[in-house]
């Protein structure tokens, strides 16, 4: 699943916030999470427990992982409960 897109188009923050996603800001990317879509499959936590840790607040810290690797983990979310937006590089 490409969780950087909705209907084949790159997602925007506006879209995600409208859809009820919560934003977790990072330096190189932001990760978004929608609790109502989460199936608690745990792919994210298994993918990188430094970034995704359920018992922690905030439970997602994007900067604990490399953006490229975070994208791979976010894309393993089968429920589209996780989305991401990469920041533009100058
Ligand atoms: S991979 Fe997606 S569905 Fe599974 S626990 Fe993480 S956010 Fe929820």
pLDDT tier at 88, thresholds 50, 70, 90: confident
Choosing among 3.90.190.10, 3.10.20.90, 3.20.20.100, 3.30.70.20, the CATH entry for 5-86 is 3.30.70.20
| Residue 44 CA to ligand 1 centre (angstroms) | 6
| Residue 90 CA to ligand 1 centre (angstroms) | 32
Spatial distance between the Cα atoms of 77 and 20, rounded to a whole number of angstroms: 17
DSSP secondary structure letters along the chain: --TTEETTEE--HHHHHHTTPEEE--SSEEEEE-TTT-----HHHHH-TTTB-TTSSSSB-GGGS-HHHHHHHHTT-TTS-EEEEEPPP-
**Residue 35 in contact with ligand 1 by CB distance below 6 A:** no
In tens, the pLDDT along 15-64 reads 999 999 999 999 999 999 999 999 999 999 999 999 999 999 999 999 99
Domain residue limits, the chain: 5-86
Summarize the confidence of residues 57-80 as an average pLDDT. 98
- pTM given for the model: 0.96
> Is the predicted pLDDT of residue 89 greater than 90, yes or no?
no
pLDDT for 86 equals: 98
């Amino acid at each position: 699943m490409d969780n950087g897109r909705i209907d084949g188009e790159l997602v925007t923050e506006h879209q995600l916030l409208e859809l009820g996603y919560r934003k977790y800001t990072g330096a190189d990317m932001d990760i978004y999470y929608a609790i109502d879509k989460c199936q608690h499959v745990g792919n994210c936590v298994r993918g990188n427990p430094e970034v995704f840790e359920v018992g922690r607040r905030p439970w997602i810290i994007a900067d604990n992982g490399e953006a490229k690797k975070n994208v791979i983990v976010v894309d393993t979310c089968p429920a589209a409960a996780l989305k991401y937006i990469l920041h533009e590089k100058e």
